[in-house]
């Protein structure tokens, strides 16, 4: 199959993409978080093509993307007031809500769960595609399962050239990490995945928030978890990733003691001079955490090379968007962290 790449700026793109989705085929769509691999979320055969293209485990449900916040009422029932408050505050935007699913949502989209994840993305062309298709678009991150997510059309092309009919190129994704996921189906709202909408922002609207254990710790692959996607090894390049915590100086000293010629250093732009002799790669500025979230997956993809033995990574501290960056890097590192303040 020939894979067409069309600019989101082109007038006909949304119409062409919507027709392909209506016809039950896949389209890679830009969003503010990462590129998604989209299909008609109400069509089981189309949804099956997403799982096949990604090599995604069948027990991992998909997010349904809607063109307008009010559309969730078509696909969800028993919607609590908190969902309307969150939609009002953060949609369109990088927030996904888990709500009770209506019967019209097929089992393959929800992986058999009684709930469905819904999101209204902050990308005008993608919302137009969804509106014109007239169906909600199921879309996981477009990466092949287990690989770092796709934040440019080129990343999608690298993973799916020849396998999907269309990639809509909307330029690099601004947020760069996948949406925040909050489960609203229990008594207390539960954060299943941190993202561009921060825990502090959620708390300000909800007044309460439980952080799921899958956010902060490695989950056994046989465990029963709220967000099935959280238990898989994720976002990881082929090399072993180790996070080196501690001050700039202590971390640099630790890395210089341990790194070999086959290793690479993933650091902040401010730290590049410290690693001039060990082939460093910066993923953004420590003093502007949004550049780190926007740059992380592109950097992990650059380092996804079988020649590289180990990656020593620096991770931002604190809350806000840094919390999401920490989560993705820790998952890439399988929660391997050394503290350069105490270890030599």
Give the Cα separation of 331 and 55 in Å (integer).
19
Q: In the chain, how many H helices and how many E strands?
A: 12, 16
Q: Does 179 bind ligand TXA (CB under 6 A)?
A: yes
CA distance 268 to 159: 27
Using rule CB under 6 A, residue 150 touches ligand TXA: no
Q: Are the beta carbons of 193 and 60 closer than 8 angstroms?
A: no
x/- track of binding to Mg ion for residues 172-191 (CB under 5 A): --------------------
Single out the segment in contact with ligand TXA by CB under 6 A; choices: 2-10, 60-68, 245-253, 315-323.
60-68
User: Should residue 151 be labelled a site residue for ligand TXA when binding is judged by CB under 6 A?
Assistant: no
Q: Length of the chain, please?
A: 344
Decide if 201 contacts 320 (C-beta within 8 A).
no
Piece of the chain touching ligand TXA by CB under 6 A; list 18-26, 227-235, 249-257, 329-337: 227-235
Residues 233-272 vs ligand TXA: string with x where CB under 6 A? ----------------------------------------
What does the alpha-carbon distance between residue 157 and residue 142 come to, in Å, rounded to a whole number?
10
110 binds Mg ion (CB under 5 A): no
Query: Using the rule CB under 6 A, which residue among 139, 244, 289, 325 binds ligand TXA?
Result: 139
Residue 255 gets which letter from DSSP? H
Question: What kind and span of H or E run contains 64?
Answer: strand 63-65
Kindly state whether residue 141 participates in binding Mg ion, applying the rule CB under 5 A.
yes
167: β partners = 5, 28
By CB under 5 A, name the binding residues for Mg ion.
Answer: 141
By CB under 6 A, name the binding residues for ligand TXA.
Answer: 31, 33-34, 36, 60-63, 96, 98, 110, 113, 115-117, 119, 121, 139-141, 178-179, 181, 192, 226-230
């Amino acid at each position: 199959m020939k894979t067409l790449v069309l600019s989101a700026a082109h007038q006909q793109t949304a119409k062409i993409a919507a027709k392909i989705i209506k016809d039950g085929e896949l389209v890679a769509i830009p969003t503010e978080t990462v590129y998604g691999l989209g299909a008609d979320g109400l069509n089981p055969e189309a949804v099956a093509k997403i799982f096949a293209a990604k090599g995604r485990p069948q027990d991992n449900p998909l997010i349904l993307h809607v063109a307008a916040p009010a559309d969730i009422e078509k696909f969800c029932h028993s919607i609590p007031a908190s969902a309307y408050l969150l939609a009002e505050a953060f949609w369109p935007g990088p927030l996904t809500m888990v709500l009770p699913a209506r019967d019209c949502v097929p089992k393959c989209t929800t992986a058999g769960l009684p709930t469905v994840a819904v999101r209204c993305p902050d990308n005008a062309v993608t919302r137009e595609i969804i509106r014109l298709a007239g169906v909600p678009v199921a879309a996981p991150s477009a990466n092949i399962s287990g690989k770092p997510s796709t934040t440019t059309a080129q990343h999608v092309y690298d993973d799916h050239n020849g396998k999907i009919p269309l990639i809509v190129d909307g330029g690099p994704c601004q947020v760069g990490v996948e949406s925040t996921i909050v489960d609203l189906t229990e008594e207390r709202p539960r954060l299943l995945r941190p993202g561009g909408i921060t825990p502090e922002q959620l708390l300000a609207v909800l007044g309460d928030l439980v952080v799921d254990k899958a956010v902060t710790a490695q989950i056994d692959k046989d465990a029963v978890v709220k967000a099935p996607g959280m238990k898989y090894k994720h976002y990881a390049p082929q090399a072993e990733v180790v996070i080196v915590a501690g001050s700039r100086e202590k971390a640099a000293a630790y890395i210089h003691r341990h790194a070999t010629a086959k290793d690479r250093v993933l650091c902040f732009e401010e730290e590049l001079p410290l690693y001039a002799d060990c082939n460093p790669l910066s993923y953004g500025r420590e003093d502007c955490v949004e550049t780190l979230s926007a740059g992380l997956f592109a950097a992990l993809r650059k380092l996804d090379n079988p020649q590289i033995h180990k990656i020593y990574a620096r991770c931002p501290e604190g809350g806000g968007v840094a919390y999401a960056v920490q989560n993705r890097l820790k998952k890439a590192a399988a929660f391997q962290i050394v503290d350069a303040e105490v270890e030599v």
